[in-house]
Amino acid sequence: MWNNFLWVVLPYLVLASFVFGHIFRYRYDHFTVTSKSSEMIEKKQLMVGSILFHIGIIFVVGGHFIGLVIPKTWTTSIGISEHMYHIVAVGIGSVFGIMAFAGMFLLTFRRLSNDRVRMTSSIMDIIVNLALLVTLFLGMASTLFANPANPGFDYRETISIWFRQLFIFQPDASLMATVPVFFQLHIICAFIIFALFPYTRLVHAWSVPLTYLKRSYIIYRR
């Protein structure tokens, strides 16, 4: 029953929160969509941490999309062997995963250690930072430790298939029963982030500033 709740019921509860939360935020509270920058308070740590995190997370998300959404048969059909795929995935994924983790660690440390930044932070800001930090840590632990410790495990034959089944409303919870604990905890933490996503500053991710490409420069003076 616990296995079915985690891998059948919980994903749809998270999806409902994600979808309806965004609808509610847009209809009734969309003027609060902002990254709430604290650059005016402290800039150096913010710049380094933000650059590392955002560059890293873009490639991490892209790697997850390839690994979870694209079936193994597709990559094999275009000549990418399983061995080659894992070497590239682990190598490139580790580099950008470490970048994203280092950036989020710096941003979280800054938010908790700088009195002025902490005073301007909400409880939800701190929860989101910690959730992202733990999720990234568990992802790195899964890649660097859980994978080598479980040589017979292949997430593309378990997690990936279960993930794609969610979108056709036929998830098989038994596929997740043998998944290593680090992977399971990583997924559950990701669930928490997606469930909270509409109610936090993370919604600024949808506000892609395309108008910046054509607007005039804004000049700031001290």
Q: Is 22 assigned to a binding site?
A: no
Q: Is 54 assigned to a binding site?
A: yes
CA atoms of 126 and 38, how far apart (whole Å): 14
CA atoms of 200 and 34, how far apart (whole Å): 9
Do the beta carbons of residue 172 and residue 164 sit within 8 Å?
A: no
Q: Is 64 assigned to a binding site?
A: yes
Go through 191-220 and write b for each residue having 16 or more CB atoms within 10 A of its CB, e for each that does not: bbbebbbbbbbbbeeeeeeeeeeeeeeeee
Nearest to 32 by CA among 169, 193, 207: 207
Handedness of CA 15, 174, 94, 114 (dihedral sign): positive
**Under DSSP, is residue 11 helix (H, G, I), strand (E, B) or coil?**
helix
Helix 44-69 × helix 82-113 angle, to 10°: 150
Known binding-site residues for heme b equal 54, 64, 186, 204
Which residues fall in the annotated binding site? 54, 64, 186, 204
